[in-house]
Amino acid sequence: MAAPERDQVADSPAVRRHPALFRALRRRKNPRLRRSDITVTDEAAVKRAVKAAALGNAMEWFDFGIYSYLALTIGHVFFPTGNETTELLSSFATFAVAFLVRPLGGMFFGPLGDRIGRKKVLAMTMIMMAIGTGTIGLIPSYDSIGFWSPALLILFRLVQGFSTGGEYGGASTFIAEYAPDKRRGFFGSFLEFGTLAGYVGAAGLVTGLTAWLGTGGMTDWGWRVPFLVAAPLGLIGLYLRLRLDETPAFAKMEQGTVHASEAADLVETSTVADLGKIFRGHWPRLILCVCLVGAYNVTDYMLLSYMPTYLSDQLGYSDTHGLLILLGVMVVLMTLIHHVGRLSDHFGRKPLLMTGMLGFLVLSLPAFLLIQQGGYLAVIAGMAMLGLSLVCLLGTMSAALPALFPTSVRYGSLSVGYNFSASLFGGTTPFVITGLISLTGDDLMPAYYSMLAALIGVGAVACMKETARQPLEGSPPSVQTREEAAALVVAMAAERRI
């Protein structure tokens, strides 16, 4: 409402006749912030929450990294046709299959996390991920059992995809609700540090095994080792998650310390009703989330998943050399990502996200032209250009996305929006790029595809609101110290008097 309109309402005859009544209505609409409403975070608890969430994310991307880096080998083992392009397309199609059920997993686990709590659902998704990943390492090859081999691979990829549908939305929500408002970007960056750690672990393990066993040994049995390693990692992650308490924001919402309108939303408890509430009441935010995640995922999967295959299949590099180059780039990004998180806390989410999107829009084509020149220095320079753009997104997105939605529907809304977008634009990226190159014969298709995604991302970032250093919608402020909480109460009281 504009200032003249507020003055007009304030001077209306009804307000002059009943000033006390209207003051009471204003106080009820904007209740006074009390010291007990403010969450004072426990640094040790925040670190435990970050560690548990990041480990789960690392396991998820360890799995996807393994599958991407072993795409050629998996094609030989499960889809032996004698044609390498067909085998590669079949392997990437199976990679994409897991993403088809991610929205279903998001629609199941997301609303459930808003009803029964973040901690319980994240434990469930961790168990399913460990089972799905470990079992893939036990599947007999096509030469042993024929059709049943790729059928079982697809089945357990579906299990992975369904469980992953509840993973990112829950993990990012978990960290965002534990972190203090002024450091949400920094702590959120650890989630994507887990992403890079998963990729680095996968790339390092696959590179070491390939160098040791050779292509023949990897095809015979070496490909199984990385999948089997993921199962005990999942058990460690489950142990860490079960030791955690529920997030302060969810606990306060359950206790009724959030706004009454938010608490009343919890009356409808069926999944269908919860999904209806999300789609009816928050569809503009869902569309924004889908656009942001779509642009982010295309560029993420293009660089971190598809690039080793591009270097080996299109440019003739050996599998080991391509992975080593990417491994070095990812290690550098891991050293930078926390600094990007801090910068997003200081300057805001939008400037960092816009920098990353514009980086891909402007630098993708020069980067791929450099990569195509050949020679390690040119390839490293091109991948560094893409990596620096990506780290601006990686270090910021996990704090920006949870802030799009209110607490009562945050897990569900983010899971639905994130996984719908990841299904359409994330897991399909290697398959689409491989198909486009095969159809057109143009090795620059990855650059054009990422530029299109970045253009959509620029528009999405321009439309979003800045949320840095602000409380999450539907939750009270979260601070680091009691002194900060007391100062905030005084400041809010002064604003009300003004």
Cα 133 from Cα 327, distance rounded (Å): 22
Cβ atoms of residues 285 and 405 within 8 Å = yes
Residue 498 has what pLDDT? 52
Which tokens belong to 103?
Answer: 């929205």
Give the separation between CA 278 and CA 193, rounded to whole angstroms: 29
What does the pLDDT average to over 33-56?
A: 80
87: which residues sit within 8 A by CB, 6+ positions away? 72, 75, 76, 79, 80, 81
Higher pLDDT, 23 or 347: 347
In SS3 terms, 435-464 reads as HHHHHHCCCCHHHHHHHHHHHHHHHHHHHC
Answer yes or no: is pLDDT of 186 > 90: yes
Q: How far is the C-alpha of 91 from the C-alpha of 89, rounded, in Å?
A: 5
208, 327 Cβ separation under 8 angstroms: no
CA distance readout (Å), 411 to 174, 275, 415, 416: 9, 11, 6, 9
| Distance separating the N- and C-terminal Cα atoms of the chain | 17
DSSP strand E in 71-189: where?
A: none
Q: Highest mean pLDDT range out of 276-280, 404-408, 459-463, 492-496?
A: 459-463
Alpha-carbon radius of gyration of the chain: 24
**Segment 349-367 mean pLDDT:** 97
Phi, psi for residue 39 in degrees, rounded to 5: -85, 120
Predicted pLDDT at 361: 97
Please report the beta strands in 358-462, taking only residues with DSSP state E, as ranges in sequence order: none
Distance between CA atoms of residues 221 and 412, nearest Å:
40
Residue-wise pLDDT for 282-316, tens only, equals 999 999 999 999 999 999 888 887 887 788 777 77
Residue 143 has a pLDDT of 87
> Comparing 99-103, 417-421, 484-488, which segment has the lowest mean pLDDT?
484-488
Closest CA to 443 of 357, 332, 369: 369
| Nearest in space to 173 (alpha carbons), one of 63, 289, 10 | 289
Average confidence score pLDDT of the chain: 83
pTM over 0.85: no
How does DSSP assign 227-261, residue by residue? HHHHHHHHHHHHHHHHTPPPPHHHHHHHHT-S-HH
Between residues 314 and 471, the one the model is more confident about: 471
User: Between these two residues, 394 and 85, which has the higher pLDDT value?
Assistant: 394
Residue 129 near residue 163, CB atoms below 8 Å = yes
How many CB atoms are located within 10 Å of the residue 141 CB?
Answer: 18
Confidence band, pLDDT 50/70/90 cuts, at residue 494: low
Q: What is the pLDDT of residue 264?
A: 42
Task: State the pLDDT at residue 265.
Answer: 46
In whole angstroms, what is the distance from residue 198 CA to residue 200 CA?
5
Distance CA 251, CA 101 (A): 30
Is residue 151 within 8 Å of residue 23, measured between CB atoms?
no
Taking 80 as the threshold, does the pLDDT of residue 110 lie above it? yes
Out of 31-35, 160-164, 269-273, 327-331, pick the least confident. Answer: 31-35
Q: What is the pLDDT of residue 238?
A: 79
- The pLDDT assigned to 405 comes to 94
Res. 33 pLDDT band, cuts 50 70 90: low
Q: In terms of pLDDT, which residue wins out, 188 or 272?
A: 188
* 243, two tokens: 């030791």
169 band by pLDDT with thresholds 50, 70 and 90: confident
Identify the DSSP state of 480: S
Q: How far apart are CA 458 and CA 449, in angstroms?
A: 15
Closest alpha carbon to 358 in 462, 284, 436, 446 = 462
Does the pLDDT at position 391 exceed 90?
yes
pLDDT at 306: 83
Between 2-6, 219-223, 431-435, the lowest mean confidence (pLDDT) is in 2-6
